[in-house]
Amino acid sequence: MAKTATAGKKKASVPKALVKAVKAAAVPAKKGRAKKHVYFFGNGKADGDRTMKDTLGGKGSGLAEMTNAGLPVPPGFTISTGVCNIYYAEKGRIPADIDREIEDNLRKLEKAAGKTLGDVNNPLLVSVRSGAKFSMPGMMDTILNLGLNDRTVEGLKAKTGNGRFAFDSYRRFLQMFGNVVLGIPKEKFEREFEAVKHERGAQSDTDLDEDGLREVVRRYKEVVQRESGKPFAQDPLQQLRGARDAVFKSWMNQRAKEYRRIYDIPDHIGTAVNVQAMVFGNSGDRSATGVGFTRNPATGAHEFFGEFLVNAQGEDVVAGIRTPQPISELEKVMPHAYKELRTITTRLEKHYKDVQDFEFTIEDDQLYMLQTRNGKRTGYAAVVIATDMAAERIITPREALLQVEPMALSQLLAPVFDPNEWKKLPVATRGLPASPGAASGQVVFSADHAVEWTEQGRKVLLVRKETVPDDIHGMEVAQGVLTATGGMTSHAAVVGRQMGKPSVVGAGELRISEQAKQFTVDGQTIKEGDWVSFDGLTGEVKVGQVATKPSEILQVVAGKMQPQESDIYQRFDKLLKWADKERTLGIRANADLPDQAALAYAFGARGIGLCRTEHMFFGEGRIEKVQRMILATNEADRRAALNELLPLQRGDFYGVFKAMNGEPVTIRTIDPPLHEFLPKREDLMVEIARLEAKGESRELTDKRTLLHRVEDLHEFNPMLGHRGVRLGITYPEITEMQARAIFEAAAQLNKEGLKVVPEVMIPLVGIVKELRDQKEIVDRVAADVMREQGVRFKYLVGTMIEVPRGAVTADEIAHEAQFFSFGTNDLTQLTFGFSRDDAGKFLGIYQGKKILERDPFASIDTVGVGALVRIAVQKGRGVKPELKLGICGEHGGDPASIHFFNQVGLDYVSASPYRIPVARLAAAHAAMQVKVGD
């Protein structure tokens, strides 16, 4: 699993070495494989260790590491991830030599366990568990108690003197095997189980006695016969092969694929299969099974956290069948095992230098560790834990940085409820606070509806009895997830935390009818579409809509709260200051107006990488002036209109410079096609028709003129049309006015004592002469302003590199430019030939078919677009070593892209204000050469 696997985990890059290893492993059987495919662990020694996640998967490497550390781990072996690829390459077959290697290890396991698979008097039972490099909670299935059949079950009974336990284990195995290997729906089994319970008046699973369970087993075997057309497989070796292959098959099931799509995990890394001797948490009242965390994964609080069930097995805790007890209770019922568990897990935390998410089983007071991994956590918890562990000196500040996934920081900026508004509604019910955050939305009862409604622009809250892995597409889009059953480690809770999705689970008072699409709570009936709100930090649920407000961090940043009043702000700030020490990339903001610039500065941006002047044109009372400029039919009229815009632009630039406190500010001259500032043709035509009905008027004449101009300006392909530098060349007076506004503002501030160095940026340059043309204007205006104002100041003139021709002729362009800023949005659009505004129609399908792994507008295409960036960097710096280089596309806030920009040697990235914290941390990770999610 990822070292920094936190809630916001999105990008999981795969090291080249792994890709190589997988390819090597996938060599067909005939050529012979000297390679090892199966890794044993047991008797205090393992073939593998923690460094081998690529080969053993996260679970297998954790079992190996714990074994080597002398912890109580039942022995077993791991079939490597490479075998998964071989399985697929060989179309669902495992070559004989690997099969032999597996059997050799099975013999070893039998020796270590002192039991034999299929031996009637002393049967070995095993679990068959999947485990990929990245943990995928509940995505693939585990089979327990394998090795049981009609004879060994009697052997198990004889050996333990506990018939109830033996048959409880057998019925569990039959159901798991039937479901996972034979594909029989769980309900077919559950129906029989409920029937027997009902007939025998049993309330809970544990109320059934041996006799009852024998009956369940009998019926289960009938289900298998009926549904699969074959009797249940009695041969343990056949069972084992079937289970192994089912794990490999589950790697490609729909929900596993969906999960990997969301978390950007490649398909080809494969899953390992762990075969491990069983220990039994269901052997009586001195036995139990449980899961836990060394710290609270929702809030980050330093407290032992988890749940367990007495006399239970495996998934009972997370499945929400019985309500588990909090782990603190374990101290009372099994103090010895509890103490050992605390000692072991504290040790594991120190060893892995991260919060551990562990699974354990107690058999007759004896503790066994079954899994440990770095725990997934909310973004909030990630920051708390990292700063705490650094303060406790378990980790260094550098290690603390690596513990926090950059995207997790954006969760901390998510809105919270306005406490006053929140107080006004009564609490309808309470659930477990599984994942913090404020959620308010219209209730839906299925994941598909959640997606549908969201696409219609509604905010939804997904309400389920409990979520299942198939629900994740709905969880992804919902404002929050609310469930009636399940604990803090249920599916909804784990996935909610990981997605950073506010979640309240186990709200037991909800009476949900998914068919009727409604639930009742607190005497009210809530139907699909009604508003419900909840607080994922407290677990309170209310009926109605509640406005949200900015998070504490935002409030501090906006000056509405003092830093010392907010614990989380102080931690956030500390972490980012550590990040600033590590990173070498500068961080700037894309901000157009003074207030955005101020926010970006408060978030830590030191400079503006992109100030889009045209955004200033949309302000109140401005658009009319812009339109007048556009409608002008001669230069004199145009200049008159521009003169009215001049003081407004100057004022904006003054504000932006000032907010940036003397840090560099890059201002781009006008970029979009002019028609964007005019009304739509269709709207005008409607208006004209309306006016015509009233007879001739001045207004009508004006509208007709406007319509003509709009038609004049119509372009078939505006993004490739009359825009960017092309506008400045055809209407030099626009560039002139903008340059003047910039320099007059700079002159003013320099007089006031704030040294500002404006950077004037010409967009969409593909030909060096375009830049030369515009630069002459800018230089002339600068000289004029300095003379008029009697001040001198420095300024730079540069260009965006966003047209492929600009990138490949960057050496020529560098002669004229003092800086380049990569406009990666346009560069991506023009390199792929994908219209940014239309690509949504097919990009999803491209990703589904794996033609593209990611959306290239969200995360830079390092191969294609990246090649152009590299060329431009090389050519530009070749001509002018001191050339300043930055990026101002949306990619400037994307961690994976930031890694790339760091690698190619840019000076800074520029991101939207809310992404600044993410960019600071990602830049630190990049400087430490850590790939995201690795």
Q: What are the catalytic residues?
A: 491, 888
Q: Is 513 left (phi over 0), alpha (psi -120 to 50) or beta?
A: beta
Contact 360, 367 (CB under 8 A): yes
Distance CA 806, CA 836 (A): 19
Least distance from ligand ADP to the Cβ atom of residue 333, Å = 18
Using CB under 6 A, list all residues that contact ligand ADP: 74, 127, 129, 138, 142, 144, 276-279, 289, 314-315, 359, 361, 370-371
Amino acid at residue number 821: S
Q: Is 23 helix (H, G, I), strand (E, B) or coil?
A: helix
Residue for token digits 């006016």?
Answer: 691
Residue for token digits 């157009």?
Answer: 592
Contact 130, 272 (CB under 8 A): yes
Smaller CB separation from ligand ADP, 41 or 534: 41
DSSP 3-state helix, strand, coil percentages of the chain (rounded to 5)?
A: 50, 15, 35
Q: What are phi and psi for residue 534, nearest 5 degrees?
A: -150, 160
Q: Which of Mg ion, ligand ADP, none lies near 315, with the C-beta cut-off 5 to 8 A by kind?
A: ligand ADP
Among candidates 744, 677, 752, 733, which has minimal Cα distance to 710?
Answer: 677
Q: Which residue's C-beta sits nearest to Mg ion? A: 826
CB burial readout 142-178, b (16+ within 10 A) else e: bbbbbbbbeebbbbbbeebebbbbbbbbbbbbbbbbb
Least distance from ligand ADP to the Cβ atom of residue 130, Å = 7
Smaller CB separation from Mg ion, 668 or 740: 668
| CA 792-796-800 angle, 5° bins | 160
Q: Which of Mg ion, ligand ADP, none lies near 823, with the C-beta cut-off 5 to 8 A by kind?
A: Mg ion
Length of the chain: 934
Least distance from ligand ADP to the Cβ atom of residue 291, Å = 6
Among candidates 353, 369, 498, which has minimal Cα distance to 434?
Answer: 498
Amino acid at residue number 744: E
| CA 99-103-104 angle, 5° bins | 115
Least distance from ligand ADP to the Cβ atom of residue 330, Å = 15
Smaller CB separation from ligand ADP, 74 or 502: 74
Q: Which of Mg ion, ligand ADP, none lies near 144, with the C-beta cut-off 5 to 8 A by kind?
A: ligand ADP
586-590 and 608-612 as β-strands: parallel, antiparallel, unpaired? parallel
Least distance from ligand ADP to the Cβ atom of residue 595, Å = 48
Amino acid at residue number 575: L
Task: List Cα–Cα distances, 524 to 515, 538, 545, 604, in angstroms.
Answer: 18, 22, 15, 47
Among candidates 801, 930, 925, 793, which has minimal Cα distance to 872?
Answer: 801
Smaller CB separation from ligand ADP, 286 or 622: 286
Q: Which of Mg ion, ligand ADP, none lies near 469, with the C-beta cut-off 5 to 8 A by kind?
A: none
Q: Which of ligand ADP, Mg ion, none lies near 810, with the C-beta cut-off 5 to 8 A by kind?
A: none
Strand boundaries in 250-389, DSSP class E: 271-277, 288-293, 305-310, 325-326, 356-363, 366-374
Smaller CB separation from Mg ion, 136 or 504: 136
The radius of gyration computed from the CA coordinates of the chain, to the nearest angstrom, equals 32
Least distance from Mg ion to the Cβ atom of residue 106, Å = 22
CA torsion sign for 403, 406, 410, 413 is: positive
Tokens of 353: 């230098």
Q: Which of Mg ion, ligand ADP, none lies near 934, with the C-beta cut-off 5 to 8 A by kind?
A: none
Amino acid at residue number 877: R
Smaller CB separation from ligand ADP, 75 or 502: 75
Using CB under 5 A, list all residues that contact Mg ion: 359, 371, 802, 823, 826
Smaller CB separation from ligand ADP, 279 or 781: 279
Strand boundaries in 29-125, DSSP class E: 38-42, 45-46, 76-79, 116-117, 123-124
Least distance from ligand ADP to the Cβ atom of residue 59, Å = 6
Distance CA 932, CA 257 (A): 20
Q: Is 522 helix (H, G, I), strand (E, B) or coil?
A: coil
Least distance from Mg ion to the Cβ atom of residue 888, Å = 9
Least distance from Mg ion to the Cβ atom of residue 697, Å = 41
Least distance from ligand ADP to the Cβ atom of residue 808, Å = 49
Least distance from ligand ADP to the Cβ atom of residue 274, Å = 7
Smaller CB separation from Mg ion, 54 or 359: 359
Find the Cα–Cα–Cα–Cα dihedral 840, 842, 848, 850, rounded to 10°: -110
Smaller CB separation from ligand ADP, 314 or 933: 314
- Helical ranges in 408-505 per DSSP H: 408-411, 419-424, 447-455, 472-477, 491-499
Least distance from ligand ADP to the Cβ atom of residue 370, Å = 5
Task: List Cα–Cα distances, 202 to 162, 174, 195, 209, 320, in angstroms.
Answer: 19, 21, 10, 9, 18
Smaller CB separation from ligand ADP, 127 or 152: 127
819-822 and 884-887 as β-strands: parallel, antiparallel, unpaired? parallel
Burial class (CB in 10 A: 0-12, 13-18, 19+), 415: middle
Q: What are phi and psi for residue 296, nearest 5 degrees?
A: -65, 115
Smaller CB separation from ligand ADP, 144 or 444: 144
Least distance from ligand ADP to the Cβ atom of residue 148, Å = 13
Query: Maximum Cα–Cα distance for the chain, whole Å?
Result: 105
Smaller CB separation from ligand ADP, 139 or 450: 139
Smaller CB separation from ligand ADP, 277 or 814: 277
